[in-house]
Structure 1
Amino acid sequence: MSSDKRLNNAYKRAKTLAFDDTSKIILFSDCHRGDNSFSDEFANNRNIYYHALKHYYNNGFQYCELGDGDELWENLTFEAIFEAHKNIYMLMKRFHEENRLHMIFGNHDMVYRNPAYVKKHLYTYFEPKDEKETTLLDQLQFHEAIVLKHSESGQELFLTHGHQADFMNYHGWRFNRFLVRVLWKPLQVWGIADPTSPARNNRELIKVEKRIKRWILRNNLIITVMGHTHRPRFPEPGDIPLFNDGSCVHPRSITGIEIEHGVISLIKWQIATKEDGTLQVVRVLLEGPQKLTDYKQNED
């Protein structure tokens, strides 16, 4: 099956989520939340991420996570990840309880495409102080893709992880997971990164982006937002409308994409130093804001 067919299937099966010019949506991906060990790349940014996510919760945003939220190649089960970053899942629970949480699976959390796995591991958790199972992300569903559809204009944004354009990370994910667990995870502690990942291999990254750009051209220039490569992208109007929200495992920062009041922006959250020497987490605008209507789709 070609990357075009995989992307077509993801689009056909996508959950449709209506939005309008009053909607506020934050897109993050590639958090790779781990177990707080030396191989947990997310651990360095967890306070930045928590602060940012709390900001979006308090300001009425919906949260869409575009895959690889949990690092389930290096870690055998979700439980160790949950214990390491419990405060984050408690915040995600609040989004979920208000129907503001929308989840997409990627290659590193491909097991979430199985509803039975999600039900077993994410619906409830054991609360030691109460000595009983407690609701966590009850009835949560993961999707391969989500289509944001504007309720008035009909404009669509196709949200997916992007591994559909990467054969080994789509069909061969179990083999890649095996290699990561037995080979690359131990080496990662010594600073040696997995060279097969498109996030660490520029040739693979370029190939993935080219395949998705080709699919966009064949599908009426539909706006596409992906993750997977960890490289932020924000095209100008008139260019091929392929966006990438980056990742949450950049050195000392996280990047994401905001959609608010009909405009789209690429943002970064990082730690900055005040004049008095104290530290604070700040939001930095990298690209935009740009009106979504400036990205014209071809007519069918």
Structure 2
Amino acid sequence: MSFGQGGPFDGPGGSTPDWDALAEESEARARRKRWMLIGGSALAAVVVAGIVAAAVMTSGSDTPQSKASASPTAPDAPEAPDDKPSFPDVSVPPPPNPQDYITDPKKDRAPLTPATLFPQKTMVIGEHTYPRTNTAAAKDCTAAAQGTLGSLLSHNGCKKLLRATFSKGGVSVTVGVALFDSPAQATTVKNKLGTDGNVTPLPGGGVPSTFCQGTKCRTTVNSAGRYAYFTISGYDNGKAVVTSETKAQQIGRDGGWYAYNRIMQRGKDQAAQAAKKQLDEARAKAEAQS
């Protein structure tokens, strides 16, 4: 059977439906339903969001957001105690100057004897060593001086003159240290003493009496603080010291350095004792205040 052009859906009158129009109308209805669903969902979301926002605003500190943004409260500062702690005064004065103890007779109070001034059995200056052979001390300074030195010591109030002799290799040196009341007196002796006077050579302990007796020897003089110090050096056998000679010059130079070092050490030792006393007193004061 042939359905012809219209087919089985031919209605009364035999007219054919407009399928394209029907399809467009159906699609339009479907779009309207979708927009209605979307609009309703959006409206519902807006309403829900408003409810949530209102809840957040009215819930106060019960929400995590408000807790996170809250500023922490600083703890109360502790009150200062009524009684402030007191600390003992343990200040210590500056250490004493060793120069003061060879300058000021009120501070220079340590015993002055050959044993304290020349304690070592050997004089050591750099690489040079010289055994000590004899020592002596004289309150009458003129008794241990020769030439013009005696009168200079007497007129400037010399209090004591100490001597020590060191010897090695056929040459010897006698070191003399004179004590005065002031540095000015010691300086005067140093400046006025010429080549015609010095300490008397001190033999003994293997050094013969011919040492620097009636012959030319090398002499030096200097001062430190209220002390003047001297050296006389030469050959044990009485040989004259000439300008080109070196052994007597060397031992004489070393003797001068030794005398200077011993005077300065005297000041250092007394300054160290004074510093220890100051520290002990400061500690005692601190313990009494604690």
| TM-score, structure 1 normalization | 0.23
- Return the index of the structure with the highest Cα Rg: 2
Higher strand proportion, which one? 1
Higher helix proportion, which one? 2
Higher relative contact order (CA 8 A, sep 6+): 1
